[in-house]
């Protein structure tokens, strides 16, 4: 069956890697206690849109699930395209665990519909005295990495390395720093 899926362009991310999304929930306690970084109530998922009725059906199901979830958790959401035409599901909720759960919900729904390869990343925004930091989860790599943007499309590499050293015991952190892609213009 995997051979046929490969020919048809269907693929699935390993479940174990998807479960790694929950690691950020407990790691947020360490981020706050050791680094003074608190969740800022925003998260997002970025994926490559495609034109197909199956994809439209998956997107409609995701929006229905998020509307239902919003009734239970109060999580606000919006779907938007960025300047590169990637699609974002942007979530807002003061309860960080609700954000993590909704990111997992969207990701799982995409995978169940056969669009796991379309998932690019999940992003969580944190803030503190040193500014805003994003923890980015790469679906392909199954690991997180920090992104600390500065003005003028620069990044604070030394702070990112410090974040890595503190968080590696708690988060699956991407070992190859060349895969720590900057994401400018994040709509969170």
How many whole angstroms separate alpha carbon 111 and alpha carbon 125? 24
Strand partners, 115: 11
User: What single-letter DSSP state applies at residue 52?
Assistant: -
Bridge partners (DSSP) listed for residue 135: 124, 146
Q: Which domains does the chain have, with CATH numbers?
A: 16-178 (3.30.70.600)
Q: What is the pLDDT of residue 37?
A: 96
Using the Cα atoms of residue 42, residue 143, residue 154 and residue 86 in order, give the sign of their dihedral: negative
Cα separation, 20 vs 34, in Å, equals 21
Contact in structure between 176 and 143 (CB atoms under 8 Å): no
173 burial level (CB within 10 Å; 0-12, 13-18, 19+): buried
pLDDT of residue 61: 80
Per-residue model confidence (pLDDT) at position 123:
97
pLDDT for position 7? 44
Which pLDDT score, from 0 to 100, does residue 16 have? 44
How high does pLDDT run on average in the chain? 87
Confidence of residue 175 (pLDDT cuts 50, 70, 90): very high
For 63-96, how does the pLDDT look when each residue is reduced to its tens digit (9 = 90+)?
887 788 778 888 999 988 888 888 899 999 999 9
- Of 177 and 84, which is predicted with more confidence? 177
pLDDT at position 8? 46
To the nearest 10°, report the CA torsion of 37, 94, 122, 126: -20
* CA distance readout (Å), 36 to 28, 114, 130, 131: 10, 39, 9, 10
* pTM (two decimals): 0.86
Residues 114-141, mean pLDDT to the nearest whole number: 93
């Amino acid at each position: 069956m995997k051979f046929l899926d490969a020919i048809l362009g269907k693929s699935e991310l390993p479940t174990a890697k998807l479960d790694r999304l929950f690691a950020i929930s407990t790691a947020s306690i360490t981020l706050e206690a050791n680094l003074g970084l608190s969740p800022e109530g925003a998260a997002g998922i970025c994926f490559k849109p495609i034109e197909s009725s199956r994809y439209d059906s998956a997107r409609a199901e995701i929006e229905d699930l998020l509307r239902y979830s919003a009734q239970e958790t109060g999580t606000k959401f919006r779907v938007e395209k960025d300047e590169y035409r990637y699609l974002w599901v942007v979530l807002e909720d003061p309860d960080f665990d609700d954000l993590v759960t909704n990111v997992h919900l969207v990701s799982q729904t995409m995978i169940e519909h056969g669009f796991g390869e379309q998932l690019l990343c999940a992003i969580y925004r944190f803030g503190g005295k040193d500014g805003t930091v994003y923890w980015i989860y790469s679906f392909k790599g199954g690991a997180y990495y920090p992104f600390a943007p500065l003005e003028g499309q620069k990044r604070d590499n030394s702070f990112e390395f410090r974040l890595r050293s503190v968080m590696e015991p708690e988060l699956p952190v991407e070992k190859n720093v060349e895969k720590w892609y900057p994401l400018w213009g994040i709509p969170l």
